[in-house]
Structure 1
């Protein structure tokens, strides 16, 4: 299995869409939606009343950190 690697030059405040996050972690959107429902995955937000979900690079790093790997 290839580990998920976030480039070190990515700004922590940069935004990723829900779809980009799913592609990055190679997890189907249905699974990530279930994580959201159960409060397990990273936090996502909607901005300016759009229907799109976004998360930050910092939030993805927090979610993928080794501390979370044991949960």
Structure 2
């Protein structure tokens, strides 16, 4: 699977519809809706409580950014 490529010149606060996100990510909408029901994937919002789902370019960038997990070994009793 190829990574999602977001052009660097896109405005971070620009809105993407769920259709645009699915096209960009090369995913079916059913997958994104399943992520939403599980609380994973990028966050989407509805304006005025109804209508289309939107996300922002910055939210997609946040979601696609490599995550780093920092764990304090004191919390695990020295076990990882």
Give the alignment's TM-score, normalised by structure 2.
0.78
Cα distance per residue 1:25-54 (max 9 Å; x no partner): 011100100000000111111113441000
Query: Which is bigger in relative contact order (C-alpha 8 A, separation at least 6)?
Result: 1
Describe the SS at the equivalent of 1:67: coil
Long gaps (5+) in structure 2: 69-80
1:44 corresponds to 2:44: yes
Describe the SS at the equivalent of 2:67: helix
Runs of 4+ in structure 1 displaced over 6 angstroms?
Answer: none
Higher helix share: 1
Give the alignment's TM-score, normalised by structure 1.
0.87
Describe the SS at the equivalent of 1:40: coil
Long gaps (5+) in structure 1: none
